Amino acid sequence: MSETEKTSDAAVEEVEEEEQAEEGDVGDSQAIENQLMKNPGMLAALQDKLNSIVGTPSGYIQSLPKEVKRRIKALKKLQNEVINVEAEFYKEVNALELKYAPKYSQLFEKRKDILNAKVEPTDEECDWPSDEEDDEEKDDEAKLAADVKEKASLDETKEAGGDVEEKKEEDVKGIPSFWLTIFKNVDMLSEMVQDHDEPILSHLQDIQVVIHEAAPVGFTLEFHFEQNEFFTDTVLTKRYEMRYEPDPEEPFSYEGPEIIKCTGCTINWNKGKNVTVKQIKKKQKHKGRGLTRTVTKQVQADSFFNFFNPPAAPEGSESEVDEETEALLGADFEIGHFIRERIVPRAVLFFTGEAIENEDYEDEENDEGEDEEYDEDNDPDFNPQASNQ
């Protein structure tokens, strides 16, 4: 055998060995993947490890030359100026909100009057297209035919000398349980509303937003109730203080105005009507005598009206707050912002469910967009040969 043939055979054997090694690596990777899929605990631990790596400095910035680092500092200083301009922008937005607040208030006052039957809207005010108009017309025609038939029957009974009690339809005033229906339609709020809250919230007549111009700036949510058997107050308030400037200690974390504090109000409950507390009985045993006694203890109960008794926010940026309080405050701030920005301006759309349907469609579109992303390199089932065919 010639040297050329020997060299060729050796090259073929080397290529075969490399292919076998690659096949072995693929097989090992597949086995590891199968093992991970069978062990959710190991998969979760791996995911946690990967999450801990995210955001960790790679060392690239530290390895840059001194003159490049100097220019980066200049860019950061410019970024800080950009953030300050952004803060000024949001202050101007707040000034515009104050300017247009009276116009909104006039419209919301008309809404309140219709909801609470203080005025009946005219035909012109009710002239708005609806998808349900055709069904309503059919219902009206059927109702009219039934009324004519019933009236004819009553006339015949009267002619025969019988006694007839005419039915009186119940007069429905305004739009009953308008705000309660909204609360039950919105997931964020429905989780807060308990069964014992519903009779109270049925007396809610209006929610108003008052924007504060003087320091401390922010807004107040006013919940207006009609007189009821549960508490003597007619208005319950929740005030939110906001910060428009970036935090001096962490300026690059600025993402616009943020709520930094909230305060509720005291609810003057009538006797036996406080739904935010409940009585529980506990048995206590005396260590020495061995006697057992039953004591009654008052504890907090789940209720929407705990919304008016939020946890106190820590004073100062260096104040520490436990995770539970931080989570409660974060949720409270989110709910207050949502009521101000979405619920109050678009109340009727949340009542009918149209606003909720629009949000669902947006979520589905985003999900579809995410599903369209495909990485063939990370697909273990991807077959290049089948793809080419």
Please write the tens of the pLDDT for every residue from 281-295.
877 777 777 777 777
What is the reported pLDDT for 215?
A: 82
- Top-confidence residue, 208 or 23: 208
Quickly count helices (H) and strands (E) in the chain. 11, 6
* Segment 139-154 mean pLDDT: 64
The CA-to-CA distance between both ends of the chain, in Å, stands at 41
pLDDT band, residue 130 (cuts 50/70/90) = confident
Helix (H, G, I), strand (E, B), or coil: what is residue 292?
strand
Residue 241: pLDDT over 90: yes
DSSP string, 117-138: TSS---TTTT----TTHHHHHH
pLDDT of residue 167: 45
pLDDT at residue 15, as a whole number: 47
pLDDT of residue 319: 55
Coil vs helix vs strand at 256: coil
CB 207 within 8 A of CB 343: yes
The pair of three-digit structure tokens given for residue 170, joined into one six-digit string: 């119940």
For the cut 90, the answer to whether the pLDDT of residue 71 exceeds it is yes
Residue scoring higher pLDDT (85 or 369): 85
pTM for the whole thing? 0.68
Confidence of residue 36 (pLDDT cuts 50, 70, 90): low
User: Does the pLDDT value for residue 232 go beyond 80?
Assistant: yes
Residue given tokens 């301006």 in the structure block: 345
Can you give the pLDDT at residue 81?
Answer: 94
Looking at residue 166, its pLDDT comes to 46
Residue with the bigger pLDDT between 84 and 361: it is 84
- Mean pLDDT on 379-388: 51
Indicate the range of 57-66, 75-84, 332-341 predicted with least confidence: 57-66
Question: What are the residues whose beta carbons fall under 8 Å from the beta carbon of 342, sequence distance 6 or more?
Answer: 350, 355
Q: What are the pLDDT digits (tens) for 94-108?
A: 999 999 999 999 999
Which of 248-252, 267-271, 322-326, 339-343 is predicted least confidently?
Answer: 322-326
For residue 292, count other CB atoms closer than 10 A to its CB. 9
d(CA 354, CA 365): 17
Nearest Cα to Cα of residue 233 among 225, 222, 241, 243: 225
Read off the pLDDT of each residue in 6-24 and give the average, rounded to a whole number: 53
**What pLDDT is stored for residue 293 in this prediction?**
78
Burial class (CB in 10 A: 0-12, 13-18, 19+), 179: buried
Q: Between 143 and 252, where is the model more confident?
A: 252
